[in-house]
Amino acid sequence: MASRNIQKAAQHVFVFVAIGTIWFLLGFTRFLRVVLDIYVLPGIPLTRFGAAKNKNQFGKGSWAVVTGATDGIGQEFALQLANKGFNIILLSRTAEKLTQVAQQIQKASPGIKTITHSIDFSAGDEAQYAVIKAALQDLDIGVLVNNVGASHAYPVPFAEMEEEEMLRIAEINVKATLRVTRIVSPGMVQRKRGLILNLGSFSGQYPVPLLATYSATKTFLISFSQALGEELRRSNVIVQNINAYFIVSKLSKIRRPSFFIPLPKAFVKQTLSKIGRQGGAAGRPSNSSVWPSHGLFDWLLTSTIAGSQALLRINYDNSFSIRKRALKKQSKTN
């Protein structure tokens, strides 16, 4: 009897050790993939999507569409895609800023063609979208960067936020992405090549209380990118949701870079050099997190407390602290 019990116990120990070993190996393999994606392996060359192969051919390549193209990340995508050999279509609200960015592109990348269209994405204006559709439908578009976005002025309880702000965020972050993608994607499918980049956020992967509307719109991008990516991969069109943490920009209201917070120029350069790589988003189809600190942080959260009450509580406390400081600053200026 005693020997039988010992034998059963040994079997149980073996099973637990085997399960633990498999779990460890799977985790280590994923971590290794994250590191290789971020630091070692190259991305898909942009020439696959129609970029001019050298500067002598500038102006003869395909087009790249960038929304929210007059500041920060959007502006950098426009400048760097032009430098890679794409003609650029700039979509943003302010005509004067669009002209300035177009001039920057033409100065930095002689020969590259630019088209600008002023559109207020918060308005959802049918006439404006009709103009854009007519302007783009005959162009060879190889890349779409859905960068335009809006957030809350500062964290706010959902039950207290202004309805106008709620609708504005949803219109810009969700409907604008859908509508521009719907205009551009049929041509990509027809040509059997294309790249669609959706600018996501950690707050979509890891929900943030007091930023509920913004957070939910970024979660939408994850689902949309994965579903669309599976549809379009059969036509050699790649869709990636760029899962980003904080970046120096007007939207984030952060002005100084740090280890965790890159400047737009560095972030965009890394993103374009790692097309097709997932980095810290390894295992999540059509998602990418390749800025080193963002990718490693993404991997760490996913491997530990992602989806837990603890992370929700941490995010709530952080949002509450930001809201408290913002209200205090606001009261001093009034």
Tokens of 166: 């709620």
* Element containing residue 95 per DSSP (H, E): helix 95-108
**Catalytic annotation, pick one of 129, 206, 214, 245:** 214
Is 214 a known active-site residue?
yes
Task: Give how far Cα 56 sits from Cα of 60, 153, 196, Å.
Answer: 9, 45, 26
Backbone angle region of 253, left / alpha / beta, with phi > 0 → left and psi within -120 to 50 → alpha: left
The answer to whether the CB of 73 falls within 8 A of the CB of 199 is yes
Q: Which amino acid is at 229?
A: G
Beta strands in 129-207 (DSSP E): 141-146, 194-199
Tokens of 256: 């100084």
Rounded Cα distance, 216 and 174, in Å: 10
Q: Is 303 annotated as a binding residue?
A: no
Binding-site sequence positions: 201
Binding-site sequence positions for substrate: 201
**Which residues are catalytically annotated?**
214
